[in-house]
Structures are given as structure tokens and as C-alpha cells.
Amino acid sequence: MASIFAKIVAGDIPSYKIYEDEKTYAFLDIHPEVRGHVLVIPKIEVDKIYELPDEDYVALWQSVKKIAKHMEEVLGARVIMKVVGTDVPHAHVHLTPLDENWEYGKTLELSEAEFKEIQEKLAM
């Protein structure tokens, strides 16, 4: 059964896309820890990052690097990269800008307008 992320890549579920290339897709987390919380995923569905074929593993980290640098330039904040790997059975990397209001385990409720504003700011 396809994960929610595979359904996002297929276009079956909408997302606030930030970046896409041949092998990766990046979008805003709908349960963000901070404004600008982005998820970067490989387009192929595997549960764990270390299960990715080498080519897709490298492509994922190249996209993470490119997006994190862009986020730092646009937002003016250092970006934290996290691989948790337990919340969705599809490999992914969390990119979260450092925010003085961040609290572990806390998520924000954002309006559609707020999501679209952040998407426009971060889109590549």
C-alpha cells in the first residue's frame, strides 16, 4: 500500500511543493514544528533512508543540501536536518529553520494562507 508521501508524489494528495527534480520532492510539513518546516523525500518509496539505491540516496542528500542553503538565504536562520524515520514508512529528511519559539514535540496550526505565503517564499 502506498504511503501518504507516495500519494503526494503521484499527485493524489495535494501538498505545498517547494522543490522537485527527477528523483526528489520537497514540500511543507502540514504539522510543522516551526514556520518553514520542509520535508524532502525520494520519489521512490522505501521505508528507511539506508534502503535507498545509492543513486537515489545521493540525489536525496544533494537536494537536502540545495534546499537547506536556499532556506537559510531566504529565512536568515540556520537550518536543522533530521532523519527520524518512524512517523511515515517512506524515507524522508526534515529541514527546520531554527526558531526561538521552537519546543520539542510541539506543532503549529497554520492557515492555508500562511502555508501559501511560506510556500511562495521558499519555492525554488
pLDDT of 46: 94
Which residues in the chain show pLDDT less than 50? none
Q: Which residues contact 122 (CB under 8 A, 6 or more apart)?
A: 18, 28, 36, 38, 70, 71, 74, 75
Q: Rounded distance, CA 5 to CA 41, Å?
A: 8
Q: Rounded distance, CA 55 to CA 63, Å?
A: 12
- What amino acid positions are annotated as catalytic residues? 92
**CA angle 85–101–117, rounded 5-degree value:** 80
pLDDT of 84: 85
pLDDT of 85: 76
pLDDT of 107: 87
Q: Rounded distance, CA 87 to CA 111, Å?
A: 23
Q: Which residues pair with 82 in a beta bridge?
A: 94
pLDDT of 47: 94
Instruction: Report pTM.
Output: 0.94
